Amino acid sequence: MSLFNVCSWWSAQCSDPGEEYDVASLLCARFGLETQEKDYIIVGSQTGQLSIYYPHRRGFDATDLLLETQMVAPILGLYAGKFSGNVRNENTNQLGVLLPNAIVIYNVVSIGGLADHGAQLRLQLQAEHKFQRVSFGLCQGHFGQVKGREFFCVVHLDGTLTFYEQDGISYECRFPGHRALPAPVAYCERTDSFFRFSATWDLQCYSYQDLSHSLVTKSSYQPTWTQCVGEGIVDMRVVQVKENCSYIMILGERNFISLDDNGKFNFMLKLDYAPKCFTSFVVGYYWEPGARLITAIISDSSKLHLYEEANIIWAAQWPNQLPAPVAIQRSNVQNLAGGIVTLGASGQLEVGYLGADPFQFQVQPLNVEELSFSQAHKELQQLEDEIKEAVDVRDMDALNQQAADQVRLSFSIQTEASDDLDTLLLDVPADVAVKELPSAKGLLRCKIKAELAELQLVFQTPNGVRCSQDTLSFVDVPAGTSKELKLDFYIAELLHVHSTKVEVVASFLSPRGIPRVIQQSANLPLSMFYRVCQPQKAAGIKLTYSITSRHVSPKLATFFGEFLEEQSDAHALGLQLLCPGLEKQSEIITVVAAKNSNRFRIQSDYVETFGMILERVVERTLKLDSSAGLIKMDKKKPKRGVLNRCVERLMAAPFLPAQPILHRIDVHHETQQSIRKQTDQLEDLWQQFKTLQRQLQEQSEGEPKEAITMEIESNYDQLILEGDKLVEIRRDERKQRCDLNCAVSLAKWIIHALNLEERVVNVVNSVLSVPIEDWTELSWEESMAPGIDMLHHFGPLTRSKSTSTHGLLDANSGSRDSFDYSRFRRHFATLFDRIVRLASSPMAAYPEKVAEEPSAEEKPSPPQQVDEIGNMQRMLGEKGLPLAPPKRKTNLSSSLEAVEDDEEYDEEDLREDVGYRKEYGASDQENATNKNRSEWVNEDFELPTTEELFSDLGIWW
């Protein structure tokens, strides 16, 4: 803060109030219209508004505005000088207005006023020069050290200089080297040189003779001298301080630099503020010994700094200029010599002077009230409670309940799909709209109980499904506000969908800045993705689920109410996937329920059809039991040896379709490799394209350019072609990512209901997360590799402690930068194999209950099961349904009669093509007694205990 203020003498608001002004929009000059003339103030905006002011006295008067006109194009700069040789009066100057594509020269003519009316000005067109390139700035001076007239050159955006003389002669020239950045170009009359700021942050000096002769002789030239500035510049001016020397004043982004016209540094002053604009002038005449170089710099905080060379002599605050001015000049106006003229970005024009008006600052009186310790302690306790409420997360249940009380959400989706979707209003793509796929309607009710500073609602839908409202934001929400939103959920892309769950996430901030997040979910109806069709008799992938809860009716109508009536006794249901709706193949999934038992058979030839069906079966079973109060899903850390609680209600047969899942992973990995290869090829083509462009710019005017032009066109066509290929590959990669989502989701839902410990299920499901993500530098396989590798070596599925220790050594020694996909695939297959083996072994799953017998209630009856499945086989066979042969089969195929008891499962058939088998322990093949032992043995040929199976689980949980 400065002690003094800049005193305001005269101010005005320009006609254009927008931020349309910059450093080249202000000019203070004289035109020789009268004998005792003072400076006129000319302002030009980037919208083309030109105004000329002539202040007469303190304070603005209407007669101070002498001219206001609208140009045909934006004004890039204003200049005054002797640009015409036809003027007889030597003191007369012309006004030059720089436009983007032309420079216009005007004669300023004065028109005297009558009575109390003031004088006016009129612009008379003298000359107009049009450009073929877009202009950036203008530089004027006595080029060639001519007397009595001034020339000017226009600086274009590509670095080209166009010189104009008074008799109409014009020519162009280019600076040597690469294309220049748009930067100011200054002229020094004493040395007849031009100073240019290059793209490498160097200040270069070129003589006018070299520039003018380069076009005629076609010869190359080099700068006279070069000095490294090392930063970008804001503005640059040339001031003649002595008779034998001129100074180049440069205002950088962080420094104030001065050089003489021979390239020698005078000083470099580091600034502790961000400069906005500056002006330099000489007090006195340069040929006098007492001439002083003064520089005025305005900072971004509207503070004026005055320097005499490198020494600061004054600092004052500009109170009426906020934000800071963008242009400053020194001017001699009527009744005020040496005034400081500034122009703001929004057109605030002001003339001030450095007076002795002190800054009015009064120190506030001190509060000398007696301190009350009890009151201070009470306030401190309140602050501690607020801080604890904001940052203490030890009791998350209480925090979540408090957040749910503040914002109450009620989110639901209708169970029936609808066909009245307005595809035009929701901008549904044409390839999706033509299929007339069903949609679903939802309703969100939100009731605000407490005042909120911000509230945001986000709807998260599966890939391919879109909501009519993606994100909603509210600010300053008062308490008691209620909102009701009607939503439409529809298919926007023809992709495989792995889940029907839709989540709404409400994140909000309290007035004290405490963030909270709550979420609710609902499921889309299956009729939005499937339609009823004839069930298939055989399929390549077959899964079996057993409903072990007495409170869940094992009927198809219990789980698939969209397709069957509540009282329906159907035992077979065929569903065809609607999306993506391929013409060459019908993706059908069949669900068969046993008549007299609690078993389900779910079968299909396609992995992509299982995800939503298994999600419905598992979640509906758990929901019905939860509503009956049978399952209490506490969020505490599960203890070792505790069985998966889902198995008590629903249990899956120990089988994982490893080969189809690994096939989806292989396809996805190959596509990722293709994307990286295509990206590298595009990068090479782009580098080649830039090299050819640089070669074209460096060629001289006389060299032929046809050959390199043809190379550029060929390279550009190849670049576009390869870019289209990359777009197509990325489109295929998105489809394959959705297919892989369905495959991983299938594995998760099977593992979720396997006969394993709950800790094992939670760890594996946390590793196999969906939806999968691919990043620019890291694919899904590379991000999953550490988790799968840890499960393989140290996780709960390791068969003994010894293999875990060896795995630790192998993992440390085998770390490398490159990603080994074959190792990842092998570990993935082994993980599935171990899960199936562990779920198939009752002694491994129940280490503490080996001696217990299964209860009579859960023990199945083998003869009744065989007869029942035979009846279903005859029921489907009598219809004579035309079933197409499956296109993708595995060696794990079986028929509907295979829905049998656990005692009749052939475990070897289930493990036939799932990964590879590995023998553990020092087993001797020649010893015949080892054949009767279990394969799940450790080094001591004994069944492992629970501690051995899950010894390293602390790494994961």
| pLDDT tens digit sequence for 479-493 | 989 999 999 999 999
- Is the alpha carbon torsion for 230, 234, 239, 242 positive or negative? negative
Q: Is the pLDDT of residue 279 over 90?
A: yes
Q: Are residues 205 and 142 in the same domain?
A: yes
Q: Is the pLDDT of residue 131 over 80?
A: yes
Per-residue pLDDT at 290: 81
| H or E element at residue 444 | strand 440-448
Higher pLDDT, 270 or 357: 270
Q: Is the pLDDT of residue 843 over 70?
A: no
Per-residue pLDDT at 362: 60
Q: Are residues 518 and 558 in the same domain?
A: no
Q: What pLDDT digit, counting tens, does each position of 20-52 carry?
A: 899 899 999 988 888 888 899 999 998 999 999
Instruction: Kindly give the pairing relationship between strand 4-5 and strand 311-317.
Output: parallel
950 found inside a domain: yes
Per-residue pLDDT at 758: 84
Q: Are residues 840 and 906 in the same domain?
A: yes
Q: Is the pLDDT of residue 942 over 50?
A: no
**% of the chain surpassing 90 pLDDT:** 30
Highest mean pLDDT among 275-289, 741-755, 883-897: 741-755
Name residue 800's amino acid: S
642 found inside a domain: no
Q: In which band, very low, low, confident or very high, does the pLDDT at 77 lie, cut at 50, 70 and 90? A: very high
Give the residue-averaged pLDDT of 437-464.
92
Looking at residue 301, the DSSP 8-state letter turns out to be T
54: nearest Cα among 67, 70, 44: 67
Per-residue pLDDT at 238: 92
CATH of the domain at 602: 3.30.310
For 756, 789, 805, 937, 952, the CA distances from 794, given in Å and listed in that order, are 18, 8, 8, 17, 6
Per-residue pLDDT at 591: 93
Cβ(466)–Cβ(499) below 8 Å: no
| Three-state DSSP state, 367 | coil
854 found inside a domain: yes
Q: What pLDDT digit, counting tens, does each position of 553-599 carry?
A: 888 888 898 888 878 888 899 999 988 866 677 889 999 988 878 88
Q: Are residues 504 and 590 in the same domain?
A: no
Q: Are residues 403 and 461 in the same domain?
A: yes
Q: Are residues 501 and 625 in the same domain?
A: no
- Is the alpha carbon torsion for 658, 660, 664, 667 positive or negative? positive
Domain interval for residue 606: 536-635
880 found inside a domain: yes
Q: Tokens 């409420």 label which residue?
A: 389
Q: What pLDDT digit, counting tens, does each position of 201-211 carry?
A: 889 998 888 88
Mean pLDDT of the chain: 79
433 found inside a domain: yes
448: nearest Cα among 413, 486, 474, 412: 474
Q: Which of 582, 608, 635 is the last residue of a domain?
A: 635
Q: Which of 600, 635, 670 is the last residue of a domain?
A: 635
Q: What pLDDT digit, counting tens, does each position of 344-361 carry?
A: 988 889 999 887 655 555
140 found inside a domain: yes
Q: What pLDDT digit, counting tens, does each position of 746-793 carry?
A: 999 999 999 888 888 888 888 888 888 888 788 899 988 888 888 877
34: nearest Cα among 137, 105, 139, 110: 110
Q: Are residues 493 and 553 in the same domain?
A: no
Q: Are residues 491 and 552 in the same domain?
A: no
Q: Which of 231, 252, 269 is the last residue of a domain?
A: 231
Per-residue pLDDT at 219: 57
Least confident of 53-67, 445-459, 870-884, 892-906: 892-906
Give the residue-averaged pLDDT of 465-478.
90
Q: In which band, very low, low, confident or very high, does the pLDDT at 882 lie, cut at 50, 70 and 90? A: very low
Per-residue pLDDT at 918: 35
Higher pLDDT, 103 or 809: 103
Give the residue-averaged pLDDT of 386-415.
82
Cβ(655)–Cβ(603) below 8 Å: no
101 found inside a domain: no
Cβ(519)–Cβ(446) below 8 Å: no
Per-residue pLDDT at 520: 92
37 found inside a domain: no
Q: In which band, very low, low, confident or very high, does the pLDDT at 4 lie, cut at 50, 70 and 90? A: confident
Name residue 793's amino acid: H
CATH of the domain at 508: 2.60.40.690
Q: In which band, very low, low, confident or very high, does the pLDDT at 925 lie, cut at 50, 70 and 90? A: very low
Q: Chain-centre distance of CA 367, in angstroms? A: 50
Burial class (CB in 10 A: 0-12, 13-18, 19+), 446: buried
Per-residue pLDDT at 939: 43
Helices (H), 420-524: 430-433
Query: Rounded CA gap, 726 and 674, in Å?
Result: 9
What DSSP string describes 886-919?
A: PSS--TT-B-GGG---GGG--HHHHTTTSS----
Instruction: Kindly give the pairing relationship between strand 588-593 and strand 599-604.
Output: antiparallel
Per-residue pLDDT at 891: 36
Q: Are residues 949 and 849 in the same domain?
A: yes
Token couple for 820: 């080994």
Q: In which band, very low, low, confident or very high, does the pLDDT at 367 lie, cut at 50, 70 and 90? A: low
Q: Are residues 787 and 919 in the same domain?
A: yes
Q: Are residues 560 and 486 in the same domain?
A: no
For 652, 923, 930, 939, the CA distances from 926, given in Å and listed in that order, are 37, 9, 8, 17
Q: Tokens 């799940």 label which residue?
A: 936
Higher pLDDT, 527 or 802: 527
Number of domains in the chain: 4
**% of the chain surpassing 70 pLDDT:** 78
Model-level pTM?
A: 0.55
CA angle (831 as vertex; 829, 837 as ends), nearest 5: 105
Higher pLDDT, 897 or 453: 453
Q: Are residues 951 and 833 in the same domain?
A: yes
Q: In which band, very low, low, confident or very high, does the pLDDT at 440 lie, cut at 50, 70 and 90? A: very high
Helices (H), 156-302: 208-217
